[in-house]
């Protein structure tokens, strides 16, 4: 496992993960960037899936992206930590890794799921991401693609790098 400051839409891996909304409609933040970079066929593929519950993930082709697949993970909105947020966030990472394996892939990049507009405290989200990927990601090439220096420093610290 490793962390880099990177634009996730530029990574040529088996899969990149986007922090999706439950309707898989695109939107702002990383999800909007992924949809813009992949092109309009991504939204069409998402619409055919009929949404995704919080804590789960769905797989589509990467279309115009260098990544073969996009995994749409629906993280929880932060509600103070009393609404099963940690379990739901861990579920996103587990589900994403499971979809990667099912698709025959080994390389994946994650953004900091739920830490943007969903308000999840970045330090806690980072701990959950790294712990869950350590637990469920044996044999996989896992990259945490960090948008800014602060997020990168959290991941490097958590990874012991």
Active centre residues (catalytic): 31
Output the DSSP codes for 73-135.
Answer: E-PPPPSSS-SSHHHHHHHHHHHHHHHHHHTT--EEEE--TTSSTT---HHHHHHHHHHHHHH
CA–CA distances in Å: residue 103 to residues 14, 64, 65, 134 = 9, 18, 17, 20
Phi and psi of 109, rounded to 5°?
-125, 135
């Amino acid at each position: 496992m490793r962390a880099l400051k990177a634009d996730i839409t530029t990574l040529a891996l088996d899969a990149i993960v986007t922090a999706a909304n439950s309707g898989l409609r695109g939107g702002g933040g990383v999800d909007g960037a992924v949809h813009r970079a992949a092109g309009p066929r991504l939204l069409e593929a998402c619409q055919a899936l009929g949404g995704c519950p919080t804590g789960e993930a769905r797989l589509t082709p990467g279309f115009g992206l260098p990544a073969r697949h996009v995994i749409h993970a629906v993280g929880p909105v932060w509600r103070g930590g009393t609404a099963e947020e940690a379990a739901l966030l861990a579920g996103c990472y587990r589900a994403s890794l499971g979809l990667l394996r099912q698709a025959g892939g080994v390389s994946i990049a994650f953004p900091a799921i739920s830490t943007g507009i969903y308000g999840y405290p970045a330090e806690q989200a980072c701990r959950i991401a790294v712990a869950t990927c350590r637990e469920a990601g044996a044999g996989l090439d896992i990259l945490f693609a960090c948008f800014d220096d602060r997020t990168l420093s959290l991941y490097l610290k958590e990874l012991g790098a």
